[in-house]
Amino acid sequence: MRKQVLIAGGGIGGLAAALGASRAGWEARLYERAAAFSEVGAGVQLGPNVVRRLQAWGLQRPLQEVAAFPGRLQVRSALTGQELAVLPLGSTAVERYGAAYATIHRADLHGLLLAAVEKYTDTQLHLDQAIDRFTDADGVVTVRTSRGKDVEGDALLGADGLWSRTRTQLLGEQRPRVSGHLAYRALVPQHALPKGLRTRQVTAWLGPRLHVVQYPVRRGELQNLVVIVQGPAPQDLENWDHSANGADLEAALLGTCTALQQAVRGVVDAGGGWRLWPLCDRPPVRGPAEMARGVVALLGDAAHPMRPYLAQGAGMAIEDAAELQRALSMHDLDVPLRLTRYALNRWQRNARVQARSTRNGRIFHATGPVRWARDVSLRLLGERLLDVPWLYRGDGSSASSL
């Protein structure tokens, strides 16, 4: 009889975990609080480390059908518009790291994972049901769903996001850390923009206390823009209105170059709108016990929510799921030891990405002499500063052993 894993959360991490667990020979039951699978409109960058994992799951063709594959990453000054540095992507990324650098609509990434789960696994998908709590005794985990039903399994995976109930019960009440950064996000059809505002590359604009990222998604048909500024978050972080005031955004960009202001103004001119998110994270993971205890493990944002300044939030969740697949396949080990192996092989890499993401945010938003030194360094060293070999080459799968 196959072992059964219960999964809290049906986002990118939860679906990837279901796919990995099923490939490890487990039966998966996934519980999603929402009444229907959906992902809000936003872009996601996938480095070669993540694309290789999707390829290993046989998802290269579905990825090619929905993603964009930018030819380069360009860094520009938000104040002058001057190009500071360039990192070649496209074929260069394939040659260096064995896979492309992709940019994708979050809903498209979620959709291709959901299609793979439905087509290639026998995962039971339970919508409009959350896992509210669990008990762990004698190697069996029992969950209570939001419908009052008790379900038993051999393991529980918490993939229920930043406000994870699984995490709270496993590790205690630890509220996410408010970053002081606000993200304005927009998606706009490229055909609705003037030709001069369309893009086929990733562009990062760096300015004092702010930065902007733009890139194509959905085969290049849409442009994703993210403007991150410093400011106070709403008091109610879990329940609030995401609509954003375009005038507030334009005010935040006063003093930036004309080219950047035109790119941002083009969203509204093309009939698009802005949505606002306060960015939260947690301190870097401090050890394997923060990712797995007994027959319960955490992955993705439930384990290591991070700031988006290394573009690896979704990527680390997918890498987690890949390592879970390897760990769950070790049928000669008992389940707690398998999950311990998973945590040992993931926590340091996740902690490093979390720390680097926070550090990047400080560099992106630098002011005064630090900003000047950053710009000079980018002009002189360019590609060497932008490339991240330690990240793109690996996935943490051989970080430790038992």
Q: Which residues of the chain have pLDDT under 70?
A: 39-41, 237-241, 244, 396-402
DSSP string of 202-264, one letter each residue = EEEEEETTEEEEEEEEGGGTEEEEEEEEE-PPPS-SSS---B--HHHHHHHTTTS-HHHHHHH
E strand intervals along 240-295: 275-281, 292-293
The pLDDT score that the predictor gives to residue 235 is: 72
- Token pair belonging to 118: 């439905």
| Structure confidence by residue, pLDDT tens digits, 347-356 | 999 999 999 9
Contact residues for 384 (Cβ-Cβ < 8 A; gap 6+) = none
The CATH-assigned architecture of domain 4-175+282-393 is 3-Layer(bba) Sandwich (3.50)
Taking Cα atoms as reference points, which of 143, 122, 105 lies closest to residue 12? 105
Q: How far apart are CA 209 and CA 230, in angstroms?
A: 6
Q: Which residues are marked as active site?
A: 215
The pLDDT score that the predictor gives to residue 237 is: 67
- Token pair belonging to 378: 């980018």
- Token pair belonging to 37: 């699978």
The pLDDT score that the predictor gives to residue 290 is: 98
- If DSSP codes are grouped into helix, strand and coil, which group holds residue 241? coil
206 in Cβ contact with 78 (< 8 Å)? yes
Domain range annotation of the chain: 4-175+282-393
Contact residues for 375 (Cβ-Cβ < 8 A; gap 6+) = 77, 84, 206
The pLDDT score that the predictor gives to residue 83 is: 98
Spell out the alpha helix ranges (H) of 288-367.
313-328, 335-364
**Mean pLDDT estimate for the chain:** 94
Contact residues for 15 (Cβ-Cβ < 8 A; gap 6+) = 30, 110, 113, 114, 116, 117
Write down the residue that tokens 């964009």 correspond to: 68
